[in-house]
Structure 1
Amino acid sequence: MPIVVNKYLIGRHFVGIALWPFIVVKNRHLKDDVVFINHEKIHLKQQLELLVIPFYFFYLTEYIVRLFQYKNSKEAYRNISFEREAYEMEAELSYLKNRKLWSFTKYL
């Protein structure tokens, strides 16, 4: 999985994104942040198991649902099932070796 540095990523809270098959980061130092990279690798795995394009559709749909639910963009983002799995498991560096298929569904 190639890691690409792009200092022009938009948003002050937006420092990286997984765009199959790449991880794009805003700052070069993030390439060495193993927890952050593991978070993004979890997203790559989620994208792969949903055949990439449907992942983005489901991600955006769930974000919109959560936005209506929480009426707060940050809270909506943090409660997307894909993000909940990634944040909960990002520090478990061996997580992807034992992760079961469609594990994000238990965070719905």
Structure 2
Amino acid sequence: MIVLVLKYLTPKGFRGITLFPFIILVNRKDREDAVMLNHERIHISQQIEMLVIPFFFWYGTEFLFRWIQYKDKHLAYRNISFEREAYANEKNLSYLKQRSFWSSFKYL
């Protein structure tokens, strides 16, 4: 995992993005935000489990499906199964130590 601060590579309105093996943040102070980094580390684990490229295909397909379903981009993003898992567990800093491969399936 490599943490970079490059505000122009993240989509507008977001604080960070994870593109294995990089976590790209908008603000330097977020490098010290344990919850933010945990959220992004959860995405790193998801990407590794799905062998990276299939992760992004699934993520994009699910986003489009949710966008059609909810007719709202932000609501669609928040309901992507990978985001639901990351948001639900970002404050549990030991989550990745206890997380199993099957954990992400309960957020589908």
Task: Give TM-score scaled by structure 2 length.
Answer: 0.96
Change (3 A) 1:92 1:56: same
Q: Secondary structure at the match of 1:91?
A: coil
Name the residue aligned to 2:42: 42
Q: Aligned pair count? A: 108
Unaligned runs of 5+ in 2: none
Letter of the structure 2 residue corresponding to residue 22 of structure 1: F
- Where does the alignment leave 5 or more consecutive residues of structure 1 unmatched? none
2:51 counterpart of 1:25:
no
* Separation in 2, partners of 1:5, 1:29: 9
TM-score normalised by length of structure 1: 0.96
Q: Are 1:106 and 2:106 counterparts?
A: yes
Residues 13-92 of structure 1: matches in 2 within 5 Å?
Answer: 13-92=13-92
RMSD: 1.0
Provide the C-alpha distance between the structure 2 equivalents of 1:9 and 1:77, rounded to a whole number of angstroms.
18
2:10/2:16 contact within 8 Å kept: no
Measure the CA separation in 1 of the matches of 2:50 and 2:72: 27
What is the percentage of aligned positions where both structures have the same residue? 56
More helix by share: 2
